[in-house]
Amino acid sequence: MGHKLDDTIALLSRTPATFDALLRNLPEGWTQSNEGDGTFTAYEVVGHLIYADREDWIPRARRILEHGEAKAFDPFDRRGHVKQIAAKSLPQLLDEFRQVRDEALDQLRGLNLRAQDMERRGRHPALGTVTMSELLATWAAHDLTHLHQVSRIMAHQYREVVGPFAEYLGVMKCGGHGG
Contact residues for a second copy, defined by CB under 8 A: 1-4, 6-7, 10-11, 14-15, 17-18, 20-22, 26-27, 29-30, 33, 124, 127-128, 130-131, 133-135, 137-138, 140-142, 144-145, 147-149, 151-152, 154-155, 157-158, 161-165, 167-174, 176-179
- CA-to-CA distance for 52 and 74, rounded, in angstroms? 12
Which C-beta is closer to a second copy: that of 32 or that of 92? 32
- CA-to-CA distance for 60 and 41, rounded, in angstroms? 27
For the bound state, the minimum distance from the C-beta of residue 106 to a second copy, rounded and expressed in Å, comes to 20
For the bound state, the minimum distance from the C-beta of residue 84 to a second copy, rounded and expressed in Å, comes to 21
**Structure letter (DSSP) for residue 110:** H
Q: What are phi and psi of 125, to 5 degrees?
A: -65, -25
Alpha helix (H) ranges present in the chain?
Answer: 5-23, 28-31, 42-52, 58-67, 81-85, 90-110, 132-156
Q: How many CB atoms lie within 10 A of CB 102?
A: 13
For the bound state, the minimum distance from the C-beta of residue 71 to a second copy, rounded and expressed in Å, comes to 18
Which C-beta is closer to a second copy: that of 86 or that of 163? 163
For the bound state, the minimum distance from the C-beta of residue 145 to a second copy, rounded and expressed in Å, comes to 4
Which C-beta is closer to a second copy: that of 82 or that of 169? 169
Which C-beta is closer to a second copy: that of 26 or that of 82? 26
Strand, coil or helix: what is 129? strand
For the bound state, the minimum distance from the C-beta of residue 174 to a second copy, rounded and expressed in Å, comes to 6
Residue length of the chain: 179
